[in-house]
Chains A and B, each alone.
Chain A
Amino acid sequence: MPERRLIVSGRYDRVKEVCDFVVRAAEEAGFDESEAFQCQLAVDEACANIIEHAYGGEDQGDIAVACEVSDGELRITLRDSGLPFDPQSVPDPPPITSLDDARIGGLGLAFMRKVMNSMSYSSDGDGNTLVLIKRKSTHET
């Protein structure tokens, strides 16, 4: 399957387009509904982080998305031109044992780590690149 690309402006109300784009790619590649949902969740959280942290707000730049499928693996690449923001530098929130310690900050990143098989980040003079990989469950070892 050839690589698919989409570019949207960095606004919260454009993130659903990215989600729909990724779900379509996942479903056409044969991922089941649950796996496609997990890809959507990870990409949604990643885009929200780009807008909030890399761009520091809405309408500060674009988000470019590419989906590539090969050998039972969906590779989602997100690029932005914002400030360096490495999601991997943010630790998972501690386990929630009571309402008092329920902290939602960092939860989106925890979702990305939990539902995707891998997540890698790089930054250069042009911005940030985040690569999320999801493998079909039948291909998991």
Chain B
Amino acid sequence: MDISTNEEGRASVMKLNGRVDSATAPDLESALKKLVEGDKTRIVLDLADVEYMSSAGLRAMVSTLKAVKRVNGDLRLASPSPRVEEVLRLAGLTSIFSIYPNQKDAVGSF
């Protein structure tokens, strides 16, 4: 999994590429934690190029969402693939995250 982060408008955009599973989720969690610790609490997670996600990836996302919500921030999701959407739905998390069809809309929502 590759992670790239940049600032877009009022948000930090983290773009993931590849597979988010038990082997790679710790890298995601630590990258998200680094953002939050740097007071970047308006985060867009661009999932367009995530081919696969397991519960380990969801765990990293939920723990970050809880952390940023505590300081009035948010973690919003952009363009999840059908398979990632299926995993979010299986977990019952589609109502917990704000999900946008593309990165631009997610950034513009802040």
Contact = CB atoms under 8 A, between A and B. Distances in A.
Interface of A: 12-13, 15-16, 19, 34, 37, 40-41, 44-45, 47-48, 51, 95-96, 98-99, 102, 104, 107-108, 110-111, 114-115
Given A96-B92, A96-B93, A12 B65 contact: no
Interface in B53-110: 54-56, 58-59, 62-63, 65-66, 69, 83, 86-87, 90-93, 95-96
B92 A95 contact: yes
Contacts of B49: none
Contacts of B96: 96, 98-99, 102
Majority SS at the chain A contact face: helix
Contact of A15 (B22, B55, B62): B22
Interface of B: 19, 21-23, 52, 54-56, 58-59, 62-63, 65-66, 69, 83, 86-87, 90-93, 95-96
Nearest to A44: B54
Majority SS at the chain B contact face: helix
Nearest to B54: A44
Contacts of A40: 52
B69 A104 contact: no
